[in-house]
Amino acid sequence: MERDAALEAVFTPVRPPSTFEETVERLGSAIRIGLLPPASKLPPERELAAQLRISRSTLRQALTTLVQSGHLVSLRGRNGGTFVADCPPLVEHDGEPLDQGAWAVLDYRVAIEAGAALLAVERGREAQFGRLEELVEKMSGELENFEEYRRTDVRLHIGLAEAAHSPRLLSAMTDVQSQMTDLIALIPHPPEVLGRANEQHRRLVAALRKKDAPRALRILREHSEGTEHILAGLLPAPARLGSAA
């Protein structure tokens, strides 16, 4: 595959901790703007993982997501490999745009969840943290059923607000989760993606129990950024306010 400067940037190392999500965004965006044209073949898995400096398992998760979204196809056999689809969905402009209104919802989510976590650290009770832990365990058995997983996921985030003991914050969390459900319905959710998200849930509950507010906030931001990266990679999107041109 011939490389120019822009294409070279697609295959530069991905930064932790959101390596999976950034890989989806990087490859999805490259397909959307034509740096990776239809029917072009990606480098072999081992080579691509080395270029991006991510594990092969993380790369496989990202490729699986892009296959399920229709951006890539995986072919077996002598001439097999991973190829850009002949008609990627967003090249045909049949995806919903991720506009500034959507980014406003994502920002709203960050503000509400961060506030809920801070107050939950201060005010949360052991019984409430135990309930959150039960929901995490329930989701671990729902990775193959996104609808069930999402219902439990919403309950967990609302439970975070309940642990903050703020009726107004609880109302805001319910509102933002409703709006987030509309957004995340636009992207695929393979079990690997749900498993990664639920591990972040597990770490969050542990941080809340330890009254470690800075760690809880870092985990929540990592959690929300993962969604942002995947949405940005799979949906046509204008530049965010304040982002580099």
pLDDT of residue 187: 80
In angstroms, the CA 183 to CA 208 distance is 27
Same fold, 5-84 and 100-234: no
Tens digits of residue pLDDT in 52-100: 989 998 898 889 888 988 889 998 877 889 999 998 875 444 445 556 7
Report helix, strand or coil for 81.
strand
Tens digits of residue pLDDT in 9-42: 778 888 766 788 888 888 988 888 788 899 999 9
CATH of domain 5-84: 1.10.10.10
In angstroms, the CA 53 to CA 232 distance is 21
Tens digits of residue pLDDT in 162-214: 999 999 999 999 999 999 998 888 787 888 889 989 999 999 999 999 999 99
Whole-prediction pTM: 0.76
Fold topology of 100-234? Four Helix Bundle (Hemerythrin (Met), subunit A) (1.20.120)
- Domain boundaries defined on the chain: 5-84, 100-234
pLDDT of residue 132: 98
Helices (H), the chain: 5-10, 19-32, 45-52, 56-68, 100-123, 126-140, 146-163, 167-184, 191-209, 213-234
In angstroms, the CA 76 to CA 94 distance is 28
